[in-house]
Copies of this chain bind each other. A is one copy, B any other.
Protein backbone atom coordinates (compact mmCIF):
# COMPACT_ATOMS: atom_id res chain seq x y z
CA UNK A 1 0.00 0.00 0.00
CA UNK A 2 1.27 3.45 -0.88
CA UNK A 3 1.62 5.76 2.06
CA UNK A 4 -0.40 8.95 1.66
CA UNK A 5 0.45 11.79 4.01
CA UNK A 6 -1.93 14.70 4.31
CA UNK A 7 -0.42 17.75 6.04
CA UNK A 8 -2.18 20.93 7.14
CA UNK A 9 -1.44 24.07 9.17
CA UNK A 10 -3.88 25.52 11.74
CA UNK A 11 -4.24 28.65 13.86
CA UNK A 12 -2.07 31.77 13.74
CA UNK A 13 0.99 31.65 11.48
CA UNK A 14 4.47 31.91 13.02
CA UNK A 15 8.01 32.59 11.88
CA UNK A 16 8.83 28.88 11.67
CA UNK A 17 5.62 26.89 11.03
CA UNK A 18 6.86 26.27 7.49
CA UNK A 19 9.97 24.61 8.92
CA UNK A 20 7.68 22.05 10.51
CA UNK A 21 5.91 21.57 7.19
CA UNK A 22 9.23 21.07 5.35
CA UNK A 23 10.51 18.73 8.08
CA UNK A 24 7.45 16.53 7.73
CA UNK A 25 7.52 16.48 3.92
CA UNK A 26 11.23 15.67 3.64
CA UNK A 27 11.11 13.00 6.37
CA UNK A 28 8.04 11.36 4.79
CA UNK A 29 9.88 11.23 1.45
CA UNK A 30 12.99 9.85 3.18
CA UNK A 31 11.20 7.14 5.18
CA UNK A 32 8.69 6.23 2.46
CA UNK A 33 10.20 6.74 -1.00
CA UNK A 34 7.42 7.16 -3.54
CA UNK A 35 4.85 8.17 -0.95
CA UNK A 36 2.24 10.83 -1.70
CA UNK A 37 2.38 14.06 0.34
CA UNK A 38 -0.65 16.30 0.04
CA UNK A 39 -0.69 19.77 1.56
CA UNK A 40 -4.23 20.80 2.50
CA UNK A 41 -4.92 24.46 1.78
CA UNK A 42 -6.32 26.53 4.66
CA UNK A 43 -6.18 23.74 7.24
CA UNK A 44 -9.07 21.32 7.56
CA UNK A 45 -11.02 23.44 5.07
CA UNK A 46 -8.77 22.14 2.33
CA UNK A 47 -9.13 18.56 3.53
CA UNK A 48 -12.91 18.89 3.46
CA UNK A 49 -12.89 20.44 -0.02
CA UNK A 50 -10.15 18.23 -1.45
CA UNK A 51 -7.99 21.32 -2.10
CA UNK A 52 -4.42 20.00 -1.98
CA UNK A 53 -0.94 21.06 -3.09
CA UNK A 54 1.28 18.20 -4.29
CA UNK A 55 4.18 18.46 -1.85
CA UNK A 56 5.91 15.35 -3.17
CA UNK A 57 6.62 17.25 -6.38
CA UNK A 58 8.49 20.13 -4.77
CA UNK A 59 12.29 20.02 -4.81
CA UNK A 60 14.24 20.02 -1.58
CA UNK A 61 15.83 23.44 -2.21
CA UNK A 62 12.40 24.92 -2.90
CA UNK A 63 11.03 23.30 0.27
CA UNK A 64 13.88 24.76 2.29
CA UNK A 65 13.12 28.23 0.91
CA UNK A 66 9.49 27.78 1.95
CA UNK A 67 10.74 26.58 5.35
CA UNK A 68 12.72 29.81 5.83
CA UNK A 69 9.64 31.96 5.09
CA UNK A 70 7.33 33.11 7.91
CA UNK A 71 3.58 32.67 7.63
CA UNK A 72 1.72 29.45 6.87
CA UNK A 73 2.59 28.54 3.28
CA UNK A 74 -0.44 26.24 2.91
CA UNK A 75 -2.78 28.80 4.43
CA UNK A 76 -4.42 28.32 7.80
CA UNK A 77 -7.84 28.42 9.45
CA UNK A 78 -9.42 29.38 12.74
CA UNK A 79 -12.20 26.79 12.24
CA UNK A 80 -12.69 24.58 15.31
CA UNK A 81 -14.50 21.59 13.81
CA UNK A 82 -17.36 19.98 15.74
CA UNK A 83 -18.36 16.36 15.20
CA UNK A 84 -20.33 17.08 11.99
CA UNK A 85 -17.50 19.17 10.49
CA UNK A 86 -15.05 16.43 11.48
CA UNK A 87 -17.01 13.78 9.64
CA UNK A 88 -16.71 15.87 6.46
CA UNK A 89 -12.98 16.23 7.08
CA UNK A 90 -12.75 12.48 7.57
CA UNK A 91 -14.60 11.91 4.33
CA UNK A 92 -12.07 14.20 2.65
CA UNK A 93 -9.19 12.19 4.10
CA UNK A 94 -10.74 8.93 2.86
CA UNK A 95 -11.29 10.37 -0.62
CA UNK A 96 -7.61 11.28 -0.65
CA UNK A 97 -6.77 7.73 0.55
CA UNK A 98 -4.82 9.24 3.44
CA UNK A 99 -2.87 6.86 5.66
CA UNK A 100 -1.58 9.67 7.89
CA UNK A 101 -2.81 13.14 8.72
CA UNK A 102 -0.32 15.57 10.28
CA UNK A 103 -1.89 18.78 11.57
CA UNK A 104 0.46 21.52 12.73
CA UNK A 105 -0.97 23.89 15.34
CA UNK A 106 -1.84 24.57 18.99
CA UNK A 107 -4.05 22.82 21.50
CA UNK A 108 -7.22 23.36 19.41
CA UNK A 109 -5.48 21.60 16.56
CA UNK A 110 -4.58 18.68 18.83
CA UNK A 111 -8.25 18.64 19.85
CA UNK A 112 -9.35 18.33 16.23
CA UNK A 113 -7.00 15.38 15.75
CA UNK A 114 -8.47 13.70 18.82
CA UNK A 115 -12.05 14.04 17.52
CA UNK A 116 -10.98 12.75 14.12
CA UNK A 117 -9.17 9.75 15.61
CA UNK A 118 -12.22 8.81 17.69
CA UNK A 119 -14.40 8.96 14.57
CA UNK A 120 -11.98 7.21 12.22
CA UNK A 121 -10.69 4.11 13.89
CA UNK A 122 -7.17 2.85 13.29
CA UNK A 123 -6.68 3.01 9.51
CA UNK A 124 -5.42 6.59 9.55
CA UNK A 125 -2.68 7.86 11.88
CA UNK A 126 -3.57 11.27 13.35
CA UNK A 127 -0.60 13.31 14.49
CA UNK A 128 -0.36 16.78 15.94
CA UNK A 129 2.84 18.79 15.49
CA UNK A 130 3.20 21.71 17.93
CA UNK A 131 3.16 25.37 16.97
CA UNK A 132 2.26 28.49 18.94
CA UNK A 133 3.85 31.80 19.88
CA UNK A 134 1.83 31.63 23.12
CA UNK A 135 4.02 28.76 24.37
CA UNK A 136 0.94 27.36 26.08
CA UNK A 137 1.09 23.65 25.19
CA UNK A 138 1.46 21.29 28.16
CA UNK A 139 4.16 18.61 28.00
CA UNK A 140 6.37 20.98 25.95
CA UNK A 141 9.38 22.80 27.41
CA UNK A 142 8.58 25.42 24.79
CA UNK A 143 6.82 25.39 21.43
CA UNK A 144 8.10 26.02 17.90
CA UNK A 145 7.37 29.65 17.03
CA UNK A 146 7.79 30.89 20.57
CA UNK A 147 11.51 31.64 20.53
CA UNK A 148 11.31 33.84 17.43
CA UNK A 149 8.35 35.79 18.79
CA UNK A 150 10.08 36.05 22.17
CA UNK A 151 13.19 37.38 20.45
CA UNK A 152 11.13 40.12 18.79
CA UNK A 153 9.67 41.13 22.15
CA UNK A 154 13.07 41.01 23.90
CA UNK A 155 14.63 43.11 21.10
CA UNK A 156 11.79 45.60 21.25
CA UNK A 157 12.09 46.15 25.01
CA UNK A 158 15.87 46.43 24.85
CA UNK A 159 15.47 49.03 22.09
CA UNK A 160 12.71 50.94 23.87
CA UNK A 161 14.85 51.01 27.01
CA UNK A 162 17.70 52.65 25.08
CA UNK A 163 15.23 55.17 23.62
CA UNK A 164 13.84 56.05 27.04
CA UNK A 165 17.27 56.36 28.63
CA UNK A 166 17.89 59.16 26.14
CA UNK A 167 14.46 60.81 26.46
CA UNK A 168 13.09 59.83 29.88
CA UNK A 169 9.43 58.97 30.28
CA UNK A 170 6.93 56.17 30.79
CA UNK A 171 6.31 53.43 28.25
CA UNK A 172 3.82 50.58 28.22
CA UNK A 173 4.09 47.82 25.64
CA UNK A 174 1.03 45.58 25.36
CA UNK A 175 1.92 42.07 24.22
CA UNK A 176 -0.32 39.28 22.87
CA UNK A 177 -1.36 36.59 25.35
CA UNK A 178 -4.85 35.98 26.70
CA UNK A 179 -4.05 33.29 29.27
CA UNK A 180 -0.32 32.57 29.26
CA UNK A 181 2.23 35.27 30.09
CA UNK A 182 5.32 33.71 28.49
CA UNK A 183 5.50 36.11 25.54
CA UNK A 184 5.10 39.16 27.77
CA UNK A 185 7.73 37.84 30.19
CA UNK A 186 10.07 37.52 27.19
CA UNK A 187 10.34 41.31 27.41
CA UNK A 188 12.90 40.54 30.14
CA UNK A 189 14.75 38.07 27.92
CA UNK A 190 17.82 40.28 27.71
CA UNK A 191 17.43 42.19 30.96
CA UNK A 192 20.65 42.06 32.99
CA UNK A 193 19.49 43.76 36.19
CA UNK A 194 16.46 45.53 37.61
CA UNK A 195 17.63 48.93 36.35
CA UNK A 196 17.01 47.71 32.79
CA UNK A 197 13.66 47.36 31.05
CA UNK A 198 11.13 45.95 31.60
CA UNK A 199 10.86 47.47 35.08
CA UNK A 200 7.37 46.07 35.50
CA UNK A 201 5.96 42.82 34.08
CA UNK A 202 2.25 41.97 34.34
CA UNK A 203 0.98 38.61 33.10
CA UNK A 204 -2.49 37.03 33.08
CA UNK A 205 -1.38 34.43 35.67
CA UNK A 206 -1.35 37.11 38.40
CA UNK A 207 -4.29 39.28 39.45
CA UNK A 208 -3.79 42.83 38.28
CA UNK A 209 -4.96 46.10 39.76
CA UNK A 210 -4.94 49.54 38.19
CA UNK A 211 -4.12 51.15 41.54
CA UNK A 212 -1.10 48.90 41.88
CA UNK A 213 0.03 49.83 38.35
CA UNK A 214 -0.03 53.53 39.19
CA UNK A 215 1.90 53.01 42.43
CA UNK A 216 4.42 50.71 40.72
CA UNK A 217 5.09 53.18 37.92
CA UNK A 218 5.50 56.07 40.36
CA UNK A 219 7.97 54.05 42.40
CA UNK A 220 10.08 52.94 39.41
CA UNK A 221 10.07 56.41 37.89
CA UNK A 222 11.25 57.86 41.19
CA UNK A 223 14.12 55.37 41.29
CA UNK A 224 15.28 55.16 37.65
CA UNK A 225 13.95 58.35 36.07
CA UNK A 226 12.05 56.29 33.50
CA UNK A 227 9.65 53.36 33.56
CA UNK A 228 9.16 50.67 30.93
CA UNK A 229 6.22 48.32 31.43
CA UNK A 230 5.41 44.99 29.71
CA UNK A 231 1.79 43.98 30.05
CA UNK A 232 -0.19 41.08 28.58
CA UNK A 233 -3.39 41.94 26.74
CA UNK A 234 -5.04 39.26 28.91
CA UNK A 235 -4.39 40.63 32.42
CA UNK A 236 -7.43 40.84 34.69
CA UNK A 237 -8.42 41.56 38.27
CA UNK A 238 -8.92 39.12 41.19
CA UNK A 239 -12.41 38.31 39.88
CA UNK A 240 -10.99 37.51 36.45
CA UNK A 241 -12.50 40.62 34.85
CA UNK A 242 -10.24 41.71 31.96
CA UNK A 243 -8.33 44.95 32.50
CA UNK A 244 -9.64 46.45 29.28
CA UNK A 245 -13.18 46.14 30.61
CA UNK A 246 -12.53 47.56 34.06
CA UNK A 247 -10.50 50.47 32.70
CA UNK A 248 -12.96 51.45 30.07
CA UNK A 249 -16.18 50.81 31.93
CA UNK A 250 -15.20 53.21 34.65
CA UNK A 251 -14.69 56.44 32.85
CA UNK A 252 -15.00 56.11 29.11
CA UNK A 253 -18.54 55.84 27.89
CA UNK A 254 -19.39 56.02 24.26
CA UNK A 255 -22.38 57.64 22.67
CA UNK A 256 -23.52 55.96 19.48
CA UNK A 257 -25.32 57.50 16.49
CA UNK A 258 -28.66 57.01 18.26
CA UNK A 259 -27.50 58.85 21.37
CA UNK A 260 -27.34 55.67 23.44
CA UNK A 261 -24.53 55.27 25.90
CA UNK A 262 -22.66 52.01 25.38
CA UNK A 263 -19.61 50.24 26.70
CA UNK A 264 -16.64 50.22 24.39
CA UNK A 265 -15.43 46.99 22.86
CA UNK A 266 -12.28 48.03 24.59
CA UNK A 267 -8.98 49.33 23.38
CA UNK A 268 -6.61 48.70 26.22
CA UNK A 269 -3.86 50.83 24.74
CA UNK A 270 -5.99 53.96 24.49
CA UNK A 271 -7.42 53.44 27.98
CA UNK A 272 -3.93 53.09 29.47
CA UNK A 273 -2.64 56.09 27.52
CA UNK A 274 -5.41 58.22 29.00
CA UNK A 275 -4.64 56.96 32.50
CA UNK A 276 -0.95 57.80 32.16
CA UNK A 277 -1.89 61.32 31.10
CA UNK A 278 -4.10 61.72 34.19
CA UNK A 279 -1.69 60.11 36.61
CA UNK A 280 1.55 61.73 35.45
CA UNK A 281 0.65 65.05 33.81
CA UNK A 282 3.41 66.62 31.76
CA UNK A 283 5.50 63.44 31.59
CA UNK A 284 6.39 61.82 28.28
CA UNK A 285 4.15 58.75 28.16
CA UNK A 286 3.50 56.28 25.35
CA UNK A 287 1.57 53.06 24.96
CA UNK A 288 2.25 50.75 22.00
CA UNK A 289 0.21 47.65 21.21
CA UNK A 290 2.60 45.18 19.59
CA UNK A 291 -0.29 43.35 17.93
CA UNK A 292 0.73 41.00 15.15
CA UNK A 293 4.27 42.30 14.79
CA UNK A 294 6.04 39.68 16.99
CA UNK A 295 4.20 36.74 15.43
CA UNK A 296 6.02 36.12 12.17
CA UNK A 297 8.45 38.99 11.86
CA UNK A 298 10.86 38.18 9.03
CA UNK A 299 13.71 40.12 10.65
CA UNK A 300 13.76 37.97 13.82
CA UNK A 301 13.71 34.32 12.82
CA UNK A 302 15.63 32.46 15.50
CA UNK A 303 17.91 29.66 14.21
CA UNK A 304 17.28 27.37 17.21
CA UNK A 305 13.54 27.87 16.71
CA UNK A 306 13.97 26.96 13.04
CA UNK A 307 15.89 23.77 13.80
CA UNK A 308 13.46 22.66 16.49
CA UNK A 309 10.42 23.38 14.32
CA UNK A 310 11.95 21.35 11.48
CA UNK A 311 12.77 18.48 13.85
CA UNK A 312 9.22 18.50 15.25
CA UNK A 313 7.84 18.11 11.71
CA UNK A 314 10.24 15.30 10.89
CA UNK A 315 9.39 13.51 14.13
CA UNK A 316 5.68 13.77 13.30
CA UNK A 317 6.32 11.27 10.49
CA UNK A 318 7.86 8.82 12.97
CA UNK A 319 4.90 9.34 15.29
CA UNK A 320 2.56 8.51 12.40
CA UNK A 321 4.48 5.25 12.01
CA UNK A 322 3.72 4.55 15.69
CA UNK A 323 0.00 5.04 15.08
CA UNK A 324 -0.22 8.78 15.72
CA UNK A 325 -0.07 11.11 18.72
CA UNK A 326 1.32 14.51 19.50
CA UNK A 327 4.91 15.68 19.13
CA UNK A 328 6.21 17.51 22.21
CA UNK A 329 9.52 19.35 22.60
CA UNK A 330 10.93 18.02 25.86
CA UNK A 331 14.07 18.94 27.71
CA UNK A 332 16.71 16.21 27.91
CA UNK A 333 19.87 17.46 29.55
CA UNK A 334 20.66 20.81 27.96
CA UNK A 335 18.67 20.45 24.77
CA UNK A 336 15.11 19.82 23.70
CA UNK A 337 14.08 16.79 21.68
CA UNK A 338 10.80 15.97 19.97
CA UNK A 339 9.06 13.06 21.70
CA UNK A 340 5.71 11.34 21.17
CA UNK A 341 2.98 11.97 23.75
CA UNK A 342 -0.69 10.99 23.65
CA UNK A 343 -3.03 13.46 21.96
CA UNK A 344 -5.17 13.41 25.12
CA UNK A 345 -2.29 14.98 27.04
CA UNK A 346 -2.26 18.08 24.82
CA UNK A 347 -5.76 18.57 23.43
CA UNK A 348 -7.79 21.38 24.99
CA UNK A 349 -5.23 22.01 27.76
CA UNK A 350 -3.57 25.38 28.33
CA UNK A 351 -0.16 25.59 29.95
CA UNK A 352 0.30 28.70 32.03
CA UNK A 353 3.60 30.27 33.00
CA UNK A 354 4.87 28.54 36.18
CA UNK A 355 4.37 30.72 39.29
CA UNK A 356 8.09 30.29 40.02
CA UNK A 357 8.96 32.41 36.94
CA UNK A 358 7.99 35.60 38.77
CA UNK A 359 9.52 36.59 42.09
CA UNK A 360 6.88 36.48 44.87
CA UNK A 361 4.93 39.75 45.17
CA UNK A 362 7.13 41.18 42.48
CA UNK A 363 6.85 42.63 39.04
CA UNK A 364 10.21 41.18 38.02
CA UNK A 365 11.22 37.76 36.80
CA UNK A 366 12.69 35.34 39.34
CA UNK A 367 15.96 33.49 38.88
CA UNK A 368 13.92 30.58 37.49
CA UNK A 369 12.24 32.78 34.93
CA UNK A 370 15.50 34.45 33.93
CA UNK A 371 17.24 31.10 33.48
CA UNK A 372 14.46 29.84 31.23
CA UNK A 373 14.84 32.79 28.86
CA UNK A 374 18.63 32.66 29.07
CA UNK A 375 18.45 29.09 27.77
CA UNK A 376 16.12 30.03 24.90
CA UNK A 377 17.73 33.36 24.01
CA UNK A 378 21.38 33.02 25.01
CA UNK A 379 22.82 35.69 22.71
CA UNK A 380 21.93 39.22 23.81
CA UNK A 381 22.66 41.87 21.15
CA UNK A 382 25.75 43.87 21.98
CA UNK A 383 25.29 47.28 23.56
CA UNK A 384 27.91 49.88 24.46
CA UNK A 385 28.98 51.32 27.79
CA UNK A 386 26.78 53.97 29.34
CA UNK A 387 27.62 57.64 29.13
CA UNK A 388 24.68 58.79 31.27
Contacts and interface: CB of A to CB of B under 8 A. Distances in A.
Interface string A363-388: 00000000000000000011111111
Contact of A71 (B62, B165, B251): B165
Interface stretch (A87-95, A154-162, A319-327): A154-162
Contact of A256 (B251, B261, B385): B251
Interface in A272-301: 273-274, 277, 286-293, 295-300
A384 B66 contact: yes
B255 A269 contact: no
A352 interface: no
A209 interface: no
B159 A70 contact: yes
B72 A166 contact: yes
Interface string A13-24: 100001000000
A257 B251 contact: yes
A73 B387 contact: yes
A177 interface: no
Contacts of A289: 269, 288-289
Interface stretch (A75-83, A114-122, A333-341): A75-83
Contacts of A63: 384
A290 B293 contact: yes
Contacts of A75: 165-167, 387-388
A256 to B, nearest CB: 7
B298 A158 contact: yes
Nearest to A288: B291
A261 B165 CA distance: 38
A111 interface: no
Copies of this chain held together in the complex:
2
Nearest to A63: B384
Interface string A235-269: 00000000000000001111111000100010101
A132 B190 CA distance: 27
A313 interface: no
A68 interface: yes
Nearest to A270: B267
B384 A67 contact: yes
A159 B296 contact: yes
A53 interface: yes
A45 B383 CA distance: 25
Contacts of A386: 73
A39 interface: yes
Contacts of A58: 385
A179 B55 CA distance: 48
A299 B13 contact: no
Nearest to A167: B76
A299 B267 contact: no
A106 interface: no
Contact of A155 (B76, B253, B257, B299): B299
Contact of A299 (B41, B71, B251, B299): B299
A163 to B, nearest CB: 5
A330 interface: no
Contact of A381 (B163, B165, B251, B299): B299
Given A155-B298, A163-B13, A65 B384 contact: yes
A52 to B, nearest CB: 10
A387 B76 contact: no
Given A159-B297, A254-B254, A267-B270, 6 more contacts: A39-B387, A41-B387, A67-B384, A73-B387, A155-B297, A265-B274
